[in-house]
Chain A
Amino acid sequence: MLRIAIVGAAIAGFNAARALRRQSFTGEIVAIGAERHPPYDRPPLSKAFLTGDCSAPDLALADPDEDLDVRWKLGTLAARLDPANRRIVLDDGEEIRADGVIVATGARARRLPGADGLANVHTLRTLDDAIALRAALLGARRLVVIGAGFIGAEVASSARSLGLEVTVVETLPTPLAGPLGTEMGALCARLHGDHGVRLLTGVAVTRLIGAARAEAVELTDGTRLPADVVLVAIGARPNVEWLAGSGLDISGGVVTDEGGATNVPAVVATGDCAMSFNRHAGRAIRVEHWTHAFEQPATAVATLLAGSRRAPDRPDVPYFWSDQYGVRLQFAGHREEGDTVRIVEGDAEQRSFLAVYERHGRPVAVLGMNQPKLFTRWRRQLRAPGPVPTAAP
């Protein structure tokens, strides 16, 4: 291969470039990124960046001592992929020809229908979003967060530390029940109340009241929550629409095997945009966590350079962390309905514990709250090779 194109210039795209060089690719690398900023790190956007404890230059991914020899085309969208002619068409009309393509277009924040155009209603995915949200919070008194997932909870925590009155609204009866299950989701949700943030669960938003700005958030039970700023944090959608017509299977994300191979030769996908077979989960999942987007590009690059399907040596055991209210949550593995969970160390009342999820008596996932050391040991055990029990039918 003489030229490889990377589409999407965030953590997965950047690490794909790094992996290409580490795996001795000496040809040309072109990386196309829709954002105008050089590749940067997203997780601090809801945490230290929002509170002002770090600034934009701290987020840069590039290491000044490392020359990856990449041609970055930033502020440019890839509009179309035409694999038959090995070409990518950009929104500025330019065409890039490439012998191999790495799709790393990630995901974008889901929007609330009817909220577009209201000046004080925000979503948080990009650095520009975070700059706008921080500016809004600094001048505000009341924040309403719609969605008590990780990003919603982190922004609630950051806004609270900036002195705002914060209310979080969640449709589910228990926040984070999907990733953590109801028992642990409920334990983690207690952090809001601990720090003076009001959490309303099992209630949905009917509409935002206001013309140019949202003045209040109206709920299904009739409650009206006055707001100076509203954050919509209801999940993310994979950026795959630009691949329509390319022949790539894009149902629920770019569908790949465990090694990142798509159904089209010489096209691999990785990071948040990819719906990849995961050995640990036993099925295809779209992992939306930083460590996945950091580590998996090396696997996709190996597949691309090998020119054939290949399974990685080690299963990818999903891992994520979240920092809220000065508490560090860490989770590794994959939970399914029916798994049991028990606290094996520490005490939920002290906001410091380690919980293990089991399936047929075997550990399949682990959650730590302020238990980094013990958590690391459990995480390593989960990563050790060995069959994972299949989920209860």
Chain B
Amino acid sequence: MLRPVCPLGAIPRGEAYRWAIDPPVAIFHTDDGEVFAVDDTCTHQDASLADGWLEGCEIECPLHSSRFDLRTGQVDEPPAKRPIRTHRVEVIDGVVHVALSDLEAGRV
């Protein structure tokens, strides 16, 4: 189910928006104008990826610098071992909509 989250205009390119649902979701607007949604909490320990460093389609965790590929959720650099969940995004009439993943959330 697609749920409206926020206007795309509210997230400048290169920035992130933390959608405070449970568990929280981070929405990234890349420099190239792409939009990605992933679980906000790093799978390593306790940090919000929306606070991290966005470069291309990769997000670096602000605590211990794990890197995740926003397209697949895969770990590009440790210490994280487990991928983050990715969620489907559609921008409809300038509004970011997200369909949450069916996979079980959390540190599995």
Q: Could you mark each residue 16-50 of chain B with 1 if its beta carbon is under 8 Å from any beta carbon of chain A, else 0?
A: 00000000000000000000000000000111101
The number of residue pairs between A and B whose CB atoms lie closer than 8 Å in the complex comes to 33
Q: List the B side residues contacting A44 at CB < 8 Å.
A: 45
Whether B63 sits at the interface, judged by CB under 8 Å, is yes
Whether B73 sits at the interface, judged by CB under 8 Å, is no
Contact present for A290 and B48 (CB under 8 Å): no
Contact present for A376 and B64 (CB under 8 Å): no
Q: List the A side residues contacting B47 at CB < 8 Å.
A: 372
Given contacts A291-B64, A373-B62, contact A380 B53 (CB under 8 A): yes
Whether A150 sits at the interface, judged by CB under 8 Å, is no
Contact present for B63 and A321 (CB under 8 Å): yes
| Cα distance A44–B44 in the bound complex, in angstroms | 11
Q: List the A side residues contacting B50 at CB < 8 Å.
A: 373
Smallest CB separation, A161 vs chain B (Å): 14
Contact present for B53 and A372 (CB under 8 Å): no
Whether A63 sits at the interface, judged by CB under 8 Å, is yes
Whether A294 sits at the interface, judged by CB under 8 Å, is yes
Q: List the B side residues contacting A321 at CB < 8 Å.
A: 63
Contact of B53 among A61, A65, A291, A376 (CB under 8 A): A376
Given contacts A63-B78, A63-B81, contact A375 B62 (CB under 8 A): yes
Q: List the A side residues contacting B79 at CB < 8 Å.
A: 41, 61, 294
| Cα distance A18–B79 in the bound complex, in angstroms | 12
Q: Could you mark each residue 13-50 of chain A with 1 if its beta carbon is under 8 Å from any beta carbon of chain B, else 0?
A: 00000100000000000000000000001011000100
Given contacts A63-B78, A372-B48, contact A290 B53 (CB under 8 A): no
Contact present for A372 and B62 (CB under 8 Å): yes
Given contacts A44-B45, A380-B53, contact A372 B78 (CB under 8 A): no
Contact present for A376 and B51 (CB under 8 Å): yes
Q: Which residue of B lies closest to A321 (CB)?
A: B63
| Cα distance A373–B53 in the bound complex, in angstroms | 8
| Cα distance A290–B66 in the bound complex, in angstroms | 14
Q: List the A side residues contacting B64 at CB < 8 Å.
A: 290-291, 294
Q: List the B side residues contacting A65 at CB < 8 Å.
A: 81
Smallest CB separation, A33 vs chain B (Å): 19
Contact present for A372 and B51 (CB under 8 Å): yes
Smallest CB separation, B32 vs chain A (Å): 20
Q: Which residue of A lies closest to B45 (CB)?
A: A44
Q: List the B side residues contacting A380 at CB < 8 Å.
A: 53
| Cα distance A65–B81 in the bound complex, in angstroms | 9
Smallest CB separation, B24 vs chain A (Å): 14
Q: List the A side residues contacting B48 at CB < 8 Å.
A: 372
| Cα distance A62–B53 in the bound complex, in angstroms | 25
| Cα distance A375–B51 in the bound complex, in angstroms | 9
Q: Which residue of B lies closest to A62 (CB)?
A: B81
Contact present for A376 and B81 (CB under 8 Å): no
| Cα distance A376–B67 in the bound complex, in angstroms | 14
Q: Could you mark each residue 273-315 of chain A with 1 if its beta carbon is under 8 Å from any beta carbon of chain B, else 0?
A: 0000000000000000011001000000000000000000000
Q: Which of B51, B62, B65 has the most CB of A within 10 A?
A: B62
| Cα distance A296–B79 in the bound complex, in angstroms | 14
| Cα distance A375–B63 in the bound complex, in angstroms | 10
| Cα distance A65–B64 in the bound complex, in angstroms | 20
Q: List the A side residues contacting B62 at CB < 8 Å.
A: 372-373, 375-376
Q: Which residue of A lies closest to B47 (CB)?
A: A372
- Among all A-B residue pairs, the 5 with the closest Cβ atoms: A372-B51, A372-B62, A373-B51, A63-B81, A376-B62
The interface of chain A, by Cβ under 8 A from chain B, is: 18, 41, 43-44, 48, 61, 63-65, 290-291, 294, 321, 323, 372-373, 375-377, 380
4 other A-B residue contacts (CB within 8 Å) besides A372-B47, A377-B53, A380-B53: A63-B81, A373-B50, A375-B62, A376-B51
9 example contacts (A-B, Cβ-Cβ < 8 A) are as follows: A63-B81, A64-B81, A65-B81, A291-B64, A321-B63, A372-B47, A373-B50, A373-B51, A375-B62
